[in-house]
Amino acid sequence: MGFLQSGLDSLPVLAAMMQFKPPAASSVANSVDQLYLMLTGITIFFSVLIFSIIFYFMLKYRRKTPGESGTATHTPMILELTWTIIPSLICVVLFVWSSSLYVRNGRPPAASTEIFVIGKQWMWHLQHPEGPREINELHVPVGVPVKLTMTSQDVIHDFYIPAFRVKKDVLPGRYSQIWFEPTETGTFHLFCAQYCGTNHSEMIGWVYVMSPTDYTTWLAGGEKTESMAEQGERLFSQFGCGSCHSADATGRAPSLAGIYGKPEKTQNGETRIVDETLIRQAILVPNSVHLPNYQPIMPTYQGQIDEEQMSQLIAYVKSLGSEERMNGK
């Protein structure tokens, strides 16, 4: 009986392996698999078509006497057009299908949990907004969308969770974002998918999708830590940011309340949205962010703030209210 049970238990894994695909564990996985299946079908269809026609011609038109030539045939334009237009139409359909899926899959839902990721040779550091940190592991609740804001401390890495069908490069000096909503509990691979040096193949980990209650328990367990925003607030005062960036706008520096997500016009006329990358740039290379009405007097913090502290400061700025939240979106 136990033998039967363990056999039944392993069926989903075997089923997934037999289909030669990872478990479909996120809200977008099935739609990606469907497109993949269609592409596979088209590949098989045309391969079989070409192979069969070739085999047929090979047999039917094999040379019967030495020195014999083939019979000249003329090229009907209609045939050329047909086999140009039909593949083109198939490509149009595939393009529209995959592009709309890609655009849809690329938009994170508004109410996502935001987790910061720092990739470095050769491990992943993750920090939850509530404060807990993880290394090479990510615990998330099922059914809740999660947005990851990621940067690298050194070379280009890539954050890849096959079961969720999501992947994004993680670059130094800027933030990249992905989101996913897990639809099944379980344990899933996390890989680095951009070659990053000696131990690239060991920069792997696990994603643990838990039921909401289990997740709350996990979050509360372990050491009590400050939330990322609280840590950021502490750094804000530690580095003296408040002396210029105070809420009552002394005119030396812009107030940070509600600044996240706001479009800001820079001195040379371009408009940039205040996002993680811009905040980071303003802290490290302040004079590259030219805001009108303010003198370029902000000192640079290059070399004084590491990536983890940076993400906490950014979490703090975001907690001061975002444009979206201010407008009640």
Partner 1 sequence: MSTAIAEIHETPAESGVNYLNVTYGIKSWLLTLDHKRIGLLYLGSITLMFFVGGMAAVLMRLHLVEPQGALFEPETYNKMFSTHGIIMVFFFLVPSIPATLGNFLIPLMIGARDVAFPKLNLMSWYLYITGAAFALFATLSGGVDTGWTFYPPYSSTYSQTHVVVVALGVFIAGFSSILTGLNFIVTIHKMRAPGMTWFRLPLFIWAMYATSLIFVLGTPVIAITLFLLGMERILHVGIFDPAVGGDPLLFQHLFWFYSHPAVYIMILPGMGVISELITAFSRKKIFGYAFVAFSSLSIAIISFIVWGHHMFVTGQSVYAGLVFSVLSFLVAIPSAVKVFNWTATLYKGSISYEAPMLYALGFIGLFTIGGLTGLFLAALATDVHLNGTYFIVAHFHYVMVGGAVMAYMGGLHFWWPKITGRLYPDLWARIAAAIIFIGFNLTFFPQFMLGYMGMPRRYAIYPAEFQVLNVMSSAGASILGVGYIIPLIYFMWSMRYGPPAGPNPWGAKGLEWTTQSPPLTENFETIPIVTEDAYNYASEAAHG
Partner 2 sequence: MAELATHGAHPPGFAHQFEDIEQQRDAGRLGMWVFLVTEILFFGGMFTSYTIYRALHLAAFIQGSHQLEVKFGATNTAVLIFSSLTMALAIRAAQTGRKKGQIIFWLLLTMLLGALFVGLKLRFEWYRDYVDGIIPGVHWFYNGPQAPGVKMFMCFYFFMTGLHAIHMVVGLGILTVLVIMTARNRFSAEYYSPLEISGLYWHFVDIVWIFLFPLLYLIGGRY
Of 136, 212, 219, 135, nearest in space to 181 by CA:
212
- Please report, as residue ranges, which positions from 59 to 118 form the binding site for partner 1 (by CB under 8 A): 61-64, 66-73, 75, 79-80, 83-84, 87-88, 91-92, 94-95, 97-99, 101-103, 105-106
Q: How far apart are CA 254 and CA 252, in angstroms?
A: 7
| Residue 257, contacted partner among partner 1, partner 2, none, CB below 5-8 A by kind | none
Size of the site for partner 2 (CB under 8 A): 5
Q: Which does 255 bind (CB under 5 to 8 A by kind): partner 1, partner 2, none?
A: none
Task: Based on the shown chain and the rule CB under 8 A, indicate whether residue 287 belongs to the binding site for partner 2.
Answer: yes
Cα–Cα–Cα angle for 37, 42, 47, rounded to 5 degrees = 125
Six token digits for residue 205 = 């980990």
Smallest separation (angstroms) from partner 1 to the CB of 234: 26
Per-residue burial over 108-135, b if 16 or more Cβ lie within 10 Å, else e, is beeebbbbbbbbbbbbbbbbbeebbebe
Q: Does 288 bind partner 2 (CB under 8 A)?
A: yes
Among positions 125, 133, 174, 290, the unique one binding partner 1 when judged by CB under 8 A:
174
d(CA 310, CA 279): 9
Structure-token pair, residue 240? 């003296």
* Segment interacting with partner 2, rule: CB under 8 A, options 23-31, 140-148, 223-231, 283-291: 283-291
Q: Which stretch binds partner 2 (CB under 8 A): 83-91, 142-150, 194-202, 286-294?
A: 286-294
Residue 249: name its binding partner from partner 1, partner 2, none (Cβ under 5 to 8 Å by kind).
none
Q: How far apart are CA 173 and CA 171, in angstroms?
A: 6
Choice between 187 and 288, CB closer to partner 2: 288
